[in-house]
Amino acid sequence: MMHDLLLNAKLARHRKGALHITRLAGKLRGDPSALWALLAQQFLFATDHTDYTRFGDRPIGNWDIFLNVINVEAQQAVSEERLCHVLYAPRKADGRHDDIRMKAALFIHVLRPLCWMGLLEEVRSGAGFKREEHYFKTEIWREVFKLDTDIHLVPNTRH
C-alpha cells in the first residue's frame, strides 16, 4: 500500500530496478506538514481502497458527506453503527443495521484511512462479537478540516 501511495503521489519512481525518491520528495523532506498534506490528499481522496475489500463494495456517499457527518457525530464519540444510522437510516425495525458489507465498506474506504492519517482515533472495547469501536476526532482533524458543519459544533468541555 505504501509503495503504491508513494508512486501515485509522485514521491518515488522505479529506476534501474530500484525505488528512488523524486525531486518533489527531496524538497518535501524539509517540510513535514506539506509532505503529510500531499500524502493525506492522495491516500484519502485519490486512492481506490476497493482492492482491500473482499467483495469490491464501495460506501454510498461522497467525501463531503462523510466528513461533515463525522465532524458532527464524532464531536464526543461515534460508533460505526451510529454512523451507518445517520448516513443510511436504519434497516431493521429495532433501528440497527444488519448489512455487514455496508459497514465494512464504510470502515475500509472512510474510517480506517482517516485513522491511519491520524485524523480519527479508534478506541476499542469488549471482545469477540461484543467488541465495539468508537471514533474520536483528533486535534489534527480540527487543524486540517474547515467544514460547513463547524457552525453546528458545541465545544467540548475540558476539566
The yes-or-no verdict on residue 46 having pLDDT over 90 is: yes
Q: What domain count does the chain have?
A: 2
How many angstroms separate the CA atoms of 105 and 60, rounded?
9
- Give the model's confidence band at 54: pLDDT under 50 very low, under 70 low, under 90 confident, else very high: confident
Residue 9 domain-assigned (yes or no): yes
Following CA atoms 60, 61, 66, 67 in sequence, which dihedral angle do they give, to the nearest 10 degrees?
150
| Residue 78 three-state SS | strand
Report residue 159's pLDDT band, with 50, 70 and 90 as the boundaries. low
The verdict on 138 and 74 lying in the same domain is: yes
Residues 139 and 109 in one domain: yes
Question: Domain of 79?
Answer: 63-152
The average pLDDT across 126-135 equals 88
Looking at the fold, whether 113 and 144 belong to one and the same domain comes out as yes
Q: Is the pLDDT of residue 154 over 90?
A: no
Structural domain includes residue 58: no
Sheet architecture: strand order including 78-79: 78-79, 132-137, 120-125
Higher pLDDT, residue 150 or 97 = 150
pLDDT at 57: 85
Whether residue 80 contacts residue 59, with contact meaning beta carbons closer than 8 Å, is answered with no
Indicate whether 69 and 144 sit together in one domain.
yes
Residue 31 in any domain: the answer is: yes
Contact 32, 38 (CB under 8 A): no
What is the pLDDT at residue 38? 97
**Is residue 158 included in any domain, yes or no?**
no
Question: Do 124 and 71 have their domain in common?
Answer: yes
Please say whether the beta carbons of 38 and 28 come within 8 A: yes
104 assigned to some structural domain: yes
Same-domain status, 81 and 26: no
92 within domain boundaries: yes
Query: 36 versus 58: which is more confidently predicted?
Result: 36
Residue 98 lies in a domain: yes
